[in-house]
Structure 1
């Protein structure tokens, strides 16, 4: 099995070749067809999150241990299944739900494994999709993709699920009657635009500083796009949106959070999903006086991923731009994403040469 691993934070990924494991119990082994490259991968590879004020949340503090195979947006084809696995036959293609919890705590029993305090997330705490194979601990974490291509389906495991879960936190009447402002038009923001349109929002306004990404946001279905760096950016956004009742911040930087709060009308709602980082100055008195809510939304649960994929099959949201590279190019893909050279989503796929070299179980 050939994988590209983080062996030292901030250092180039290391190619490793080891025997492909055989599944036991309820485990399922899949051959990787596509693995998305996400900003969370960059944070994990670099080794920390920026908390502002020279403070950082380091991956060791989160329980991340090296070596680690990145990749949490994975579509694969079943190669083998353990004797206790149900519903996974060789040749079937699935999207992998990676946000796996301990399975025993009350949070997991409530079906909210993504919020488990002892997570086993694939690609963060357990080996992920930057490999030619991935081991999934139980067939219940495999979600059907219908006739979607692997490159189209893979981003729904993170960017799709994250934004879908955030959108579901907006009251239905706001979603149906008001504009929603999306901050950022990276892979996360573009996915948010397409899902907002598919879920009934007719007026999506996007703030994004990059011209190419603004163009991609319009193609994804945004009603209006605004240069986030323009002096009159917030005025332009208000003209396009009217009263702003809901903002989804797909960046999560101090500046973008401040923009989101400044845009909200009285009683409005700011949902944070981006993890860029930094530090925010907040006047507590203004929060109740304006009756605004500031809410974090962290990925989503398995039930939501099933609901999302049902929505995708039924309503066919516009696909975000994707580009596929060979698994061998994982390091350059990370570097390009970190440098802001990507519009949409980059995906990795093992080349025929890699698959020919891989050791079978």
Structure 2
């Protein structure tokens, strides 16, 4: 089978030929027809995360070493199963979305359903071969979510951008009708969050982005207010006039964006950081106490949340985000476009 692998960090992906998958035990094999291109893939290609102050979190130190077949937004047809896989013969040939954020499967965190928070992650497209290939091996059919009837390109994005946005929103505890929710960054995950928030009943959503085109896109998708965070004083004034943000979700995760989000919170507000752009912030401890604000992280989402999100889309509760399909052979061009910030919505590899 064909696959596209990072053979050396900081280098373009290379096409490689690998043997066709032969599932063992509880494994199943998905013939990949769609795979989303995610900003996380850029960090994997680079081999590190920016920790601020000139420091780096090296993926090699976390057990990620080339060659890496990336791709964690996987959708395709179930084509084979191992002898111990608990799945019906009738499911062979069906289209499934793959939950990629796997853990060790045996620790207490995994047993309670939060495999995405496992201390020994086995995520597809990171620690295990992912969907930038003709086939993807999944260790157990419990990670398959029926995608029958869903638009395939859109559905593939649910496994990361969708569930990441949904999980972050589930951590927000504000009045959906009266309070202001701020979304920092309208990349693919931020736009997913805006659409999901509107579908969940949030009436007052503000969006901050440095790209005028993305701010216009936010307005078309129901944002009540848009601001340019580069003009921090003007943006803060606009948000203050709207009553301040009761909660902010930072889908960029850079020093400047998190700093802006924290600064515009109301007393008692919460800032949730999702993005991994990198950097650090300094927060005076008396400010944290006197303003009674909360700062927390949110990492992707769990399998139950993915299933909830799929149900919401099936019910027609959420407006779909724009998705552009490109061929698998164009994966390097897709990654370069994403790196340059020239994508409105999501890019999905398709065959």
TM-score normalized with structure 1 length: 0.94
In the aligned structure 1, how far is the partner of 2:316 from the partner of 2:229? 30
Could you tell me whether the CA contact under 8 Å between 1:94 and 1:142 is conserved in 2?
Answer: yes
Q: Which residue of 2 aligns with 1:197?
A: 198
In the aligned structure 2, how far is the partner of 1:142 from the partner of 1:333? 26
Q: Which residue of 2 aligns with 1:115?
A: 117
Tell me, yes or no, if structure 1 residue 93 matches structure 2 residue 133: no
Cα drift, residue 24 of structure 1 = 1.7
Matches within 5 A, 1:1-361: 1-87=1-87, 89-171=91-173, 173-230=174-231, 231-239=233-241, 241-350=242-351
State the SS of the aligned residue for 1:259: helix
Cα drift, residue 285 of structure 1 = 1.3
In the aligned structure 2, how far is the partner of 1:43 from the partner of 1:345? 17
In the aligned structure 1, how far is the partner of 2:264 from the partner of 2:249? 11
Cα drift, residue 314 of structure 1 = 1.5
Runs of 4+ in 1 over 4 A off after TM superposition: none
> For each residue in 1:90-127, what CA deviation from the matched residue of structure 2 results, as whole angstroms up to 9, or x when unmatched?
21111110000001111111111001111100001000
In the aligned structure 2, how far is the partner of 1:341 from the partner of 1:322? 13
Instruction: Name the CA shift for 1:219/1:33 in 2 (closer, same or farther; >3 Å).
Output: farther
In the aligned structure 2, how far is the partner of 1:278 from the partner of 1:60? 19
In the aligned structure 2, how far is the partner of 1:311 from the partner of 1:149? 14
Could you tell me whether the CA contact under 8 Å between 2:21 and 2:135 is conserved in 1?
Answer: no
Q: Which residue of 2 aligns with 1:353?
A: none
Could you tell me whether the CA contact under 8 Å between 1:245 and 1:268 is conserved in 2?
Answer: yes
Indicate the RMSD between aligned Cα atoms, in angstroms: 1.3
State the SS of the aligned residue for 1:285: helix
Cα drift, residue 274 of structure 1 = 0.6
Q: Which residue of 2 aligns with 1:356?
A: none
Cα drift, residue 326 of structure 1 = 0.5
In the aligned structure 2, how far is the partner of 1:258 from the partner of 1:229? 12
Structure 1 residues not aligned, in runs of 5+: 351-361
In the aligned structure 2, how far is the partner of 1:237 from the partner of 1:30? 46
In the aligned structure 2, how far is the partner of 1:99 from the partner of 1:175? 29
> For each residue in 1:41-78, what CA deviation from the matched residue of structure 2 results, as whole angstroms up to 9, or x when unmatched?
00000110001111000110111121110001111111
In the aligned structure 2, how far is the partner of 1:218 from the partner of 1:194? 11
In the aligned structure 2, how far is the partner of 1:56 from the partner of 1:43? 11
Cα drift, residue 280 of structure 1 = 0.8
In the aligned structure 2, how far is the partner of 1:33 from the partner of 1:225? 36
Cα drift, residue 151 of structure 1 = 0.5
Could you tell me whether the CA contact under 8 Å between 1:181 and 1:204 is conserved in 2?
Answer: yes
Q: Which residue of 2 aligns with 1:355?
A: none
Structure 2 residues not aligned, in runs of 5+: none
In the aligned structure 1, how far is the partner of 2:124 from the partner of 2:195? 26
State the SS of the aligned residue for 1:237: helix
State the SS of the aligned residue for 1:40: helix
Cα drift, residue 238 of structure 1 = 3.1
Cα drift, residue 312 of structure 1 = 1.6
